[in-house]
Structure 1
Amino acid sequence: MKLAVFGASGGVGRHAVAQALQAGHEITALVRSASAIPIAHPRLHIVVGTFAQPDAVKEVVQGADAVISVLGVRKGDTSAVCTDGMRGIVQAMNAAGARRLVALSAYGASETRNASLFIRFVRRIIAAKMRDKDSMEILVRASALDWTLVRPAMLTNGKRRGGYRAAPTLTPGLFAGLSRADLAAFMLHECSEDAYLRQAVTVSP
């Protein structure tokens, strides 16, 4: 497959790029700096730019069989990275004729905001981040794309175990830890399987 990846330099994004290359896929990624992804590979194409440059975003998605968004904010950043980025991604996909979108969200977003006392507490602590995810989900759902929203359990830097559970109605355990490597594997799998088309799916170990 030809994959477009946004957020490729982040924790989940680096796993997604490495696993996709290992699986034989071709990848185009948008990064702010050419040194953001320390991988050199003939099937990895880097586009240096930002979401303020629509032509760069469109270049990334042009000809893609699927688009993966693993955008996220750095600690302490309260900007609407996911919403602003997704707005550019949706516009670029529409312009380029790309259809399949697999986007990272968060458990506790949208209709899961009141899933438990713990989730309500988390939303108060990271209110700006969760509002950003809520707004991003609204944009995705309103689009005509073939989308899947992925809501993982608490993420860890553990090794890829190759095992996870996924379902739209799944409730992750309070201290369930899903490795970023396993999350990346699920998102790559969903790009080709379409098991949760136009659904929000929770992923947990």
Structure 2
Amino acid sequence: MKLAIFGATGATGRHLVELALQAGHDVRALTRSPQALPLRDPRLHVIAGSLDDEAALHSALSGADAVISVLGTRRGDASPVCTDGMRSILPAMQAAGVRRLVALSAYGASETHDATLFIRFVRKVIAAKMRDKDGMEALVRASGTDWTLVRPPALTNGKPGGAWRTGAALRPGWSARLARADLAAFMLREAERGDYVGAAPVVSI
């Protein structure tokens, strides 16, 4: 497959790029900081640019079979990175004729906003970040793409376990965690297989 990956220099994105290359996929990664992705592989094409750069977006998406977005804010940043990013990505996908989208969201977004007392507490603590996920999900659902929204619980930098539970109706508890490497593996598998097109699966250990 030819994959366009957004958010490739983040903690999850780096795992995703490595796994995609190991699986034999061609990867195009759009980033404002190419030096933050030091991998070298003939199937990796790092494109310098931002999400408001139409030429860079076209270069990333041209000929792509699927888009995987692992965009997210960095600690202390309350800007709506996911929503703003998707406002650029979705029209560019349409222009390039790319339909498949796998996007990182979070458990507690949209209709799961009051799933548990713990989630209601989390949404108060990181309100701006969760509103960003809500906004992104609304855009994706209305886009007409073959979308999947992936909703993990709290993420860790731990070693991958290689096993997870997943499902649109799964309700992870307050102690649920998922290694970023496992999240990346699930998102890549979903781009390859399409088990949850038009759904928002939770993935957790």
Please say whether Structure 1 and Structure 2 have the same fold, judged by a TM-score greater than 0.5.
yes
Structure 2: how far apart are the matches of 1:164 and 1:58? Answer: 35
Looking at structure 2, the residues matched to 126 and 35 of structure 1 have their Cα atoms a distance apart, in angstroms, of 30
Secondary structure of the residue aligned to 1:47 is strand
2:203 aligned partner: 203
1:91 equivalenced with 2:91 (yes/no): yes
Alignment deviations for residues 145-167 of structure 1 (CA, whole Å, 9 cap, x no partner): 00000000211111111100110
Q: CA deviation at 1:79?
A: 0.6
Q: Secondary structure at the match of 1:138?
A: helix
Answering whether residue 152 of structure 2 is matched by residue 152 of structure 1, we say: yes
* CA-CA distance at 1:5 after TM superposition: 0.2
Shift of residue 34 of structure 1?
A: 1.9
Q: CA deviation at 1:102?
A: 0.2
The CA distance in 1 between the partners of 2:173 and 2:117, in whole Å, is: 13
Structure 2: distance between partners of 1:160 and 1:25: 21
**Displaced runs of 4+ in structure 1, greater than 4 A?**
none
What is the CA distance between 1:58 and its match in structure 2?
1.9
Question: Where does structure 1 lack aligned partners over 5 or more consecutive residues?
Answer: none
Listed as ranges, the matches of 1:158-173 within 5 Å are 158-173=158-173
Worse overlay, 127-136 or 48-57? 48-57
The one-letter amino acid paired with 1:4 is A
Structure 2: how far apart are the matches of 1:145 and 1:161?
31
- Aligned-partner residue type, residue 3 of structure 1: L
SS of 1:199's equivalent in the other structure is coil
Aligned to 1:21: 21
Query: In the alignment, which residue of structure 1 is the partner of 2:42?
Result: 42
Answer yes or no: is 1:177 the counterpart of 2:177: yes
User: In the alignment, what sits opposite 1:130?
Assistant: 130
Whether 1:80 aligns to 2:80 is: yes
Alignment match, 1:186 = 186
CA distance in 2, matches of 1:141, 1:57: 21
Please provide the CA RMSD for this pair: 0.7
Percent identity between matched residues is: 62
Structure 2: 5+ residue runs without aligned partners? none
Deviations 1:11-69, CA, capped at 9 Å, x for gaps: 11000000111111100000102201010110000110001212211211111111000
Amino acid at match of 1:94: Q
Deviation at 1:176, TM superposition (A): 1.3
Give CA-to-partner distance per residue, 1:103-139, whole Å, 9 cap, x none.
Answer: 0001000000000111001000111000000000000
